[in-house]
Amino acid sequence: MCSLNRYVAFEGIDACGKTTQTKLFYEYLIHTGKDVFLTKEPGDTATGKKIRNIILQDNIDDKAALLLFLADRVLTINKIKDKLKNSYVVSDRSLYSTIAYQSYGSGIDLNLIEQFNQFATGGLKPDVVFYIDISINVMYERLSNFDKMEDKGEEFFNRVRDGYLKMADRYDNIYKIDGMQNKKDVFRDIVEIWNNL
């Protein structure tokens, strides 16, 4: 099977609507007759769920969190590589989350993170990334409960969002979507971009 545009990821800061749009897009591809595998990072394997719980519940430092995210990525990427042989893959988050959160957000060296991502993925990255952009104020309006990651403060999330915006300018596989719209209009924009690829 042709691998062109078969691995699709959704990215954005917390509460941007990416999980909703990931599921809508998955259902859209199913409806169009595609065989599709739905996944997420972190936490899509049994071990990954444990890693996710450690990251979100325990008080660990940024370097330890980075290595745990990467461990989860290895497990998830192995599943993705297998599924890409015969299916499309739609993922809620990907390696770009680590760049945004751990490098731009937490200040860990970008080159180091890119090397780690290369090691963890074996060079596999999403063919298409839909980055759903919202303001930090809207993020806080939408969040009701805060986990360890979401409780890092406004300055942290401003850096994360800035990282996503820089990546959207830097990488030609990342498409920026206005997440301030209602979810129906966000999805319309995603499908329009997809159908014109």
What own/partner pairs with CB < 8 Å and gap ≥ 24 does 80-87 have?
80/7, 80/37, 80/39, 80/124, 81/122, 81/124, 83/37, 84/3, 84/6, 84/7, 85/1, 86/1, 86/35, 87/6, 87/34, 87/35, 87/36, 87/37
How high does pLDDT run on average in the chain?
A: 94
**Domain segments of the chain as ranges:** 7-195
- At the top level of CATH, the class of 7-195 is alpha beta
Give the model's pLDDT for residue 195: 96
In this predicted model, which residue has the larger pLDDT, 123 or 57? 123
pLDDT at residue 161 tops 50: yes
pLDDT at residue 58 tops 80: no
Give the model's pLDDT for residue 147: 64
Give the model's pLDDT for residue 149: 65
Residue-wise pLDDT for 87-128, tens only, equals 999 999 999 999 999 999 999 999 999 999 999 999 999 999
Nearest-angstrom CA–CA distance, 18 and 59: 26
Nearest-angstrom CA–CA distance, 14 and 157: 9
pLDDT at residue 34 tops 80: yes
Peptide bond into 126 cis (omega under 30): no
Q: Positive or negative, the Cα torsion across 40, 19, 86, 125? A: negative
Give the model's pLDDT for residue 152: 84
Residue-wise pLDDT for 133-155, tens only, equals 999 999 999 987 766 666 788 99
